[in-house]
Amino acid sequence: MTAEANHILLLAGTSEARQLGKTLAETFPESRLTASFAGVVRDLPDLGVPTRVGGFGGVEGLLAYLRQEKITAIVDATHPFAAQMSHNAAEAAKTLKLPLLRLERPSWQPGESDRWTHVVSMDEAAMALPTGARAFLAIGRKEIERFTHRTDIFGLARMIEPPPAPLPGSWELLLSRPPTSAAEEISLFRDRNITHVVTKNSGGSRSIAKIEAARALKLPVIMIARPQLPDAETAPTVAALVDRLRQILANRN
């Protein structure tokens, strides 16, 4: 196999995937590179590389795509809570004996003064909120329905795309991406008299502002642990992943 024959599939959907699109294209100029988005959000970022959009159709669909496109390596840079895609990628890579590298940013850790309640599911997070709480819910459109039975609280739900079903009438929906500055989050939490912050343990810097704001305002945080992901080789950063991919591709050529 020649270096030209490499075709890397980048499973995207995170800020790291954006960095990877650029870095992989620069590092492996002789390889083909295709980025893939689920297509959940409408304003997709331009990764600067050829892109496909939409689900593959489960493991079978992914296998067909990998064969058809002669993919030689998969980079899974999906969100830590996008477990289904990671499972499908791991299974397909195993079947076709393709190298798979997953970018796995470290989880957020509480500081000494942080008041975190650790939970393992959306349902447990919903139950952890006391009656009368004014909760900031950094929960996506897919999972928000796990909280909407809590009509005894005020929920300020922020997500990028609207939820499939309406939220309780007394709640507020904020359709936006998370801000990068803690000051903006502090101002939002103050303005809505937020008493609790509910968030997935996404890790990384892109959406850490809400954690910093909760810390600054001494707000309790309900922290939802990550789902179990399949066994796969992982790298914690873009740079580490690119280094490892370089070795893998060199060994294949």
Q: Which stretch binds ligand NAP (CB under 6 A): 7-15, 113-121, 124-132, 147-155?
A: 7-15
Judged by CB under 6 A, the residue of 6, 14, 31, 195 near ligand NAP is: 14
Q: State the nearest-atom distance from the C-beta of 204 to ligand NAP, in Å.
A: 10
The strand ranges marked E within the chain are 7-11, 32-37, 51-53, 73-76, 100-103, 116-119, 134-138, 154-159, 172-175, 196-200, 221-224, 233-235
Of 57 and 111, nearer to ligand NAP (C-beta) is 57
Asked if residue 40 binds ligand NAP (CB under 6 A), the reply is: yes
Those residues with Cβ within 8 angstroms of residue 144's Cβ, 6 or more apart along the chain or in another chain = 137, 157, 159, 163, 167
Query: What are the contacts of 44-52 at 24+ separation with CB within 8 A?
Result: 45/18, 47/10, 47/12, 47/17, 47/18, 47/21, 47/22, 48/21, 48/22, 49/10, 49/21, 49/24, 49/25, 51/12
Residue 11 binds ligand NAP, judged by CB under 6 A:
yes
Only segment of 9-17, 96-104, 181-189, 212-220 that touches ligand NAP (CB under 6 A): 9-17
DSSP 149: T
CB of 58 to ligand NAP, least distance (A): 4
**Which of 23, 217 has the CB closer to ligand NAP?**
23
Q: Is 227 in the site for ligand NAP (CB under 6 A)?
A: no
Q: Which residues contact 141 (CB under 8 A, 6 or more apart)?
A: 40, 159, 160, 161, 162, 163, 164
> Alpha-carbon distance 41 to 59, whole Å?
22
Tell me which residue of 47, 40, 12 sits closest to 26, measured CA to CA. 47
Check: CB of residue 211 under 8 Å from CB of residue 202: no
Query: Which region, judged by CB under 6 A, interacts with ligand NAP, from 24-32, 53-61, 167-175, 190-198?
Result: 53-61
Which of 6, 36 has the CB closer to ligand NAP? Answer: 36
**Smaller CB distance to ligand NAP: residue 195 or 222?**
222
Question: Which residue lies nearer to ligand NAP by CB, 10 or 194?
Answer: 10
Closer to ligand NAP by Cβ: residue 81 or 171 = 81
Ranges within 55-84 binding ligand NAP (CB under 6 A): 55-58, 61-62, 78-79, 81-84
Catalog residues that contact ligand NAP under the rule CB under 6 A: 11-14, 36-38, 40, 55-58, 61-62, 78-79, 81-85, 88, 140, 142, 200
